[in-house]
Homo-oligomer: A and B are copies of this chain.
């Protein structure tokens, strides 16, 4: 089984220079798959190549996405680096521990993504709800303005160490998480059924209710099979019970007709 290095996803990056610096440090540590979600100034940008110091290939092959969900859809494990997890929705881990997890997952054939927010805003809670863990670089609270490429450097460096050191001993592997596309598909089903059931009340709380729900299932990191099970659960609960009641009501209608 080939161990694919993680891809790096930059969500709404602002400065092309930083994108180039990210490409450079990716190349330093053996990464190459770069994905850009809504880069502020469009793409491609000459200044990115200028600041990559010859690490052109991650830039040449970079893919651009409109939606974060699309950028993550083929990944099994997504680790979000953020300096400010506003709410502790997901396990918060260190770069070292995250790299261990990424290394183990990759050695089992999973596709791993390292997600980073834009220079100013970082990651929103809704973005984080798509991920499996939050990584925080242990910076000094007195000065926590970490450059984007530096954040990528720390994660990429820790990743590389996992590749040159002996792999950690393994206890039975956890199930391979489904890719994000499958999970997002389940979210869509669940949320539309909940919508139909009048669950989202009051309406202005819908967004935060959706976020809180998604994070529960993201944290569970369900496998493909488990996602299918969950879909079956939602279908059964929303349709099955309805069918039972409808049958009863139909019978009641027939009874009243025949009486």
Contact = CB atoms under 8 A, between A and B. Distances in A.
A246 to B, nearest CB: 4
A160 interface: yes
A94 to B, nearest CB: 5
A75 interface: no
A99 interface: no
A230 interface: yes
A226 B233 contact: no
Contact of A28 (B144, B226, B252): B144
A174 B92 contact: yes
Interface residues of A, number: 90
Interface string A142-176: 11111101100110010011001001101111110
B175 A88 contact: yes
| Residue of A28, A136, A145, A257 contacting most chain B CB atoms (<10 Å) | A28
B164 A138 contact: yes
A157 B178 CA distance: 33
Nearest to A246: B245
A90 interface: yes
Given A219-B220, A249-B249, A257-B257, 16 more contacts: A55-B145, A88-B172, A92-B171, A136-B171, A138-B161, A138-B168, A147-B149, A150-B150, A154-B157, A199-B232, A212-B226, A216-B222, A219-B221, A241-B242, A246-B246, A249-B250
28 contacts: A25-B147, A27-B143, A28-B143, A28-B145, A28-B146, A28-B150, A54-B143, A85-B171, A87-B172, A89-B175, A92-B174, A150-B153, A153-B153, A153-B154, A174-B219, A197-B237, A197-B241, A198-B240, A213-B229, A216-B226, A219-B219, A239-B241, A241-B242, A242-B244, A249-B252, A250-B252, A253-B257, A256-B257
Interface of A: 21, 24-25, 27-30, 53-55, 84-85, 87-96, 136-147, 149-150, 153-154, 157, 160-161, 164, 167-168, 170-175, 190, 193-194, 196-199, 209, 212-213, 216-217, 219-222, 226, 229-230, 232-234, 236-246, 248-250, 252-253, 256-257
